[in-house]
Homo-oligomer: A and B are copies of this chain.
Amino acid sequence: MTDEFAAVVDSVRERVTPDDDERDRLRAATERLTERTEAAVAELPVDADVLLVGSTARGTWLAGDRDVDLFVRFPDDLDRERLEEYGLRIGREVLPDGHEEYAEHPYTVGEFEGFTVDLVPCYDVEDATAIQSAVDRTPFHTEYLEARLDDEIAGDVRVCKAFLKGIGVYGSNLKTRGFSGYLTELLVLEHGGFREFLDAAADWHPPVELDPEAHGAESFDDALVVIDPTDPTRNVAAALSATNVARLQHYARDFLAAPREDRFDPDEPEPLSPDAVRGYVEDRGTTPVALRFEAPDIVADQLWPQLRKSLDGVTSELDRRGFDVFRAEAFADVDDGDEAVLLVELAVPERPRIERHDGPPIHVRDHATGFYEKYEATDAYGPFVEDGRYVVEREREFATAVEFLRSEALFDVGLGAHVATELEDDYEVLVGGEITALCPAFGRDLARYFSPKP
């Protein structure tokens, strides 16, 4: 097995390691980019230095990656408004065809000699605990890793990133909630290699805590805690979901037991055809219901938490009303159609006209009498007595899940704010076979939904 493992990993390493030509091109491009940025900085009334950060700086990028992160580091007494202004001014000068994006503060994204450059202003702070903005940490991360990653480990980092990509858990954005590049590098470094990291992960009993610098100063209740070597109060894995930790464990065991190169290829299923969707709906015997609406025009890291919050709200309320949810998922197609979908698969799509409603215990005389008098003359069944309480069987507010989803009551479930606004504007409810209308836009999401993998 070890030979097989080594053979697969060697082959992958070969594939993901940039060749000399790619390295040379990247080096030349980043040198010119840095010069140009420094020239733009020189025009400003303040001093600032320019740093290459991220995987291109640390030599851990995957062959073919075209992402470059360049930071402009300003004195930490510069006020925030000025920092943002200078940052964007440099961006316009260095990347004239670029556009503005926004995380904690605005930055510029643009093309430069075939690379996609994030040009980000940050503060030059004493250490990572003194940051004014999350990005101020990044230079410390680069510095920490540059001092520790040799070529051997960097190669294993590349293999590990490719593995995490292949199994779908790479990226700390709020859609994926996976492993960031920095986290991956720390994990491989801490365990001494890709194989050692997989061996460890296969046997993890979360919560797992790693503290490379043994200086952790807070406790976290995440499944995986990796104390930032540059900041004792931060968990580098804070954005990682427990499900993705479990997925890593599954695929680590799977790969150790049977190493195969295609595990490094992300699973991109063929989009389902409407007929295939109809086939799944019939085979499962459940009742899928989809809310389709225009995706709010917000960045993905804002959109996904709102979609998930909305989905939670809708499914909890459906469950509470007796419409048992079998499984549910949010989809967003923000590239093409700007549409979003909350798909809720119901095991129980309808209920009887009446529902049981328990009243107070009989011995609480005032409440009990009030309840009895309230229902005595209505057309509810009862009140009768069960387990020491009054019970009535009264008309249910919504006899079907679809009635509820089409009603105003949908807006009481704790939707994400921007999602609520879009739904107030317009939405469509698709039931059962009608969800075939989600093809082709969401055909690949439906393929993943109906063939769920670890």
- A residues with a Cβ closer than 8 A to B are 202-206, 223, 242-243, 245-247, 249-250, 253, 283-287, 322, 324, 326-327, 347-348, 351-354, 356, 361-363, 365, 368-369, 372, 381-390, 393, 399, 450-454
CA A242 – CA B363 in complex, angstroms?
Answer: 11
Output the least CB separation between A373 and chain B (Å).
10
CA A372 – CA B253 in complex, angstroms?
Answer: 11
The residue from B243, B322, B348, B362 contacting A388, defined by CB atoms under 8 A apart: B243
* Given contact pairs A203-B365, A249-B362, A326-B352, A223 touches B452 in the complex (Cβ within 8 A): no
Does the CB pair A352–B285 fall under 8 Å?
Answer: yes
* Given contact pairs A285-B353, A452-B384, A347 touches B362 in the complex (Cβ within 8 A): no
CA A246 – CA B387 in complex, angstroms?
Answer: 8
CA A453 – CA B387 in complex, angstroms?
Answer: 14
Dominant SS among interface residues on chain A: mixed
Chain B residue, CB-CB nearest to A244: B385
Output the least CB separation between A269 and chain B (Å).
14
Chain B residue, CB-CB nearest to A347: B352
Contacts of A348 in B (CB 8 A): 324, 348, 351
CA A286 – CA B396 in complex, angstroms?
Answer: 12
CA A388 – CA B353 in complex, angstroms?
Answer: 38
Does the CB pair B284–A393 fall under 8 Å?
Answer: yes
Output the least CB separation between A276 and chain B (Å).
14
Output the least CB separation between A138 and chain B (Å).
31
Output the least CB separation between A248 and chain B (Å).
9
Output the least CB separation between A348 and chain B (Å).
5
Contacts of A243 in B (CB 8 A): 385-388
Does the CB pair A453–B384 fall under 8 Å?
Answer: yes
Contacts of A353 in B (CB 8 A): 283-285
Does the CB pair A384–B454 fall under 8 Å?
Answer: yes
A–B Cβ pairs within 8 angstroms, 13 of them: A243-B386, A243-B387, A245-B388, A246-B385, A250-B362, A250-B368, A250-B385, A253-B365, A326-B352, A327-B393, A372-B454, A384-B453, A390-B454
Contacts of A385 in B (CB 8 A): 243, 246-247, 250, 454
Contacts of A454 in B (CB 8 A): 372, 383-385, 390
